[in-house]
Amino acid sequence: MRRFFVLFQKEFLQIRRNSFLPKLIIIFPIVIMLLMPLVMTMDVRNVNVAVVDLDRSTTSRRIASHIEASEYLTLSATTAEFPLAMEALEQGGADVIVQIPDHFERDMMSGTAERISIIANAVNATKGGIGMQYVVQTIARTLVELRGEKSPVGVSELVTIENRYNPTLNYRHYMIPALMIILFILICGFIPALSIVGEKESGTIEQINVTPVSRLTFTLGKLVPYWLIGLFVLTVAMIVAWLVYGLAPVGSVGLIYFGAALFVLVISGFSLMIANFSETMQQTMFVMFFFIMLFMLMSGLLTPIDSMPQWAQYFTILLPPRYFIDILRSVYLKGTTFVDMWQNFAALGIFAIVFNTLATLTYKKQA
């Protein structure tokens, strides 16, 4: 116990003496939490629409003005010549072209109108697809509106929509818990591993190995400091999320800390295991990068697991971050309780035990 305390103290002393780590631990979460939610957005906005108005009627002008008024669409040009609009699409000045055919207004009444054609730049599939959707909706709304004005019976809304848990469909609220996890993975995944491999490179591990310190004590001495740092980083991130974005967890904060405590153990245990198999910092970095890519891209951080192919969905069962993402999002946005998602906690608990046992066993005092 006393040996553990000495190792623990030494680890903190070394972190404090390091000219770089303490700053990283404080500044990194703040910068990530302040900057990333603003830029990491999947909301499609500023879709530039070029209208090719061959009709030049009230209807066509109404469509153009509705496009202009839309929150998501920008009317970039109105021309009477299709090639001009096409050129704008090619050069990136326009994302979507709407062509209203000649005599559209006249023929619409008789029901023989040529169709309005919409052409979208789909290089960015999301922007193209969603942009097109917005345009279709806007045009449809305009046409319904026009019909309503012409017919004495008002057309009522047939569908109502409600977004539960994230009522404003704010993408930030979805991303902020994910960012907290990215912070965790980066800080608690890299630093403990680098600290062990650093001792290997400088030879100090040799001097520790000839002492009677047990493997468990040594591993705990490396683990616990980063466990505390992880919880500190989480606290900073939660405060920033609350102060800056007004996002406070709907559910229990205690539950978040419990999940985080388990998750930090999982990730730092995992990184210690990698360190035990590496000889140099470079090697550790690259192996960690590989796994961090898997963790970030396959755990449902950025894209939902449900939309992955079936085999990939099975594979994600082996990725510990997926459970913590689920916990964090559910508690933050829905206020889910422990009883409803104890499986996630159990999974993290199992990973924590497995990785840390392996980290202890693979740390060899003898070659």
Partner 1 sequence: MYAIEVNNLAKSYGRVQALDGVSFAVRRGELFGLIGPDGAGKTTLFRLLTTLLLPDGGEAKVDGLDVVKDYLAIRSRVGYMPGRFSLYPDLSVEENLGFFAALFGVGVEESYDLVEPIYKQIAPFRTRRAGKLSGGMKQKLALSCALIHRPSVLFLDEPTTGVDAVSRCEFWDMLAGLKQRGITILVSTPYMDEASRCDRIALCNEGHILGIDTPTGIVGQFRSPLYAIRSRRTFALLEAARRQQGVVQCYPFGESHHLVVDDTFDKEQFVRALSDFEDLHIEPATPTIEDVFIKLMKR
Residues lying near partner 1 in the complex (CB under 8 A) are found at 2-3, 6-7, 10, 13-14, 17-18, 202-204, 206-213, 365-367
Element (H, E) at 52: strand 47-53
Nearer to partner 1, 6 or 27 (CB): 6
Strand order in the sheet with 73-79: 73-79, 47-53, 96-100, 117-120
The minimum distance between CB 214 and partner 1, in angstroms, equals: 9
DSSP tag of 161? -
Rounded alpha-carbon distances, angstroms, from residue 59 to 65, 130, 138, 139, 225:
10, 24, 13, 10, 68
The least distance separating partner 1 from the CB of residue 299, rounded to whole angstroms, comes to 35
Instruction: Please state the closest distance from residue 301 (CB atom) to partner 1, in A.
Output: 35
In angstroms, what is the minimal distance from the CB of 278 to partner 1?
Answer: 18
Q: Measured from the CB atom, is 208 or 294 closer to partner 1?
A: 208
Question: Which residue, 3 or 56, is less far from partner 1 as judged by CB?
Answer: 3
| Nearest to partner 1 of 6, 144 (CB atom) | 6
Please, what is the minimum distance in Å from the beta carbon of residue 14 to partner 1?
Answer: 5
Q: Which is nearer to partner 1, 77 or 213 (CB)?
A: 213
How many whole angstroms separate alpha carbon 292 and alpha carbon 289? 5
The Cα–Cα gap between 347 and 317 comes to 9
State the minimum distance, in angstroms, from the CB of residue 362 to partner 1. Answer: 16
Rg of the chain (C-alpha set) = 28
- Of 48 and 217, nearer to partner 1 (C-beta) is 217
Please report how close the Cβ of residue 367 comes to partner 1 at its closest, in angstroms.
5
In angstroms, rounded to a whole number, what is the distance separating the alpha carbons of residues 102 and 117? 12
Residues in the chain: 367
Nearest to 339 by CA among 327, 356, 348: 327
Q: Are 26 and 236 in contact (CB under 8 A)?
A: yes
Output 12 or 257, the one with its CB closest to partner 1: 12
What is the Cα–Cα distance from 222 to 241, expressed in whole angstroms?
29
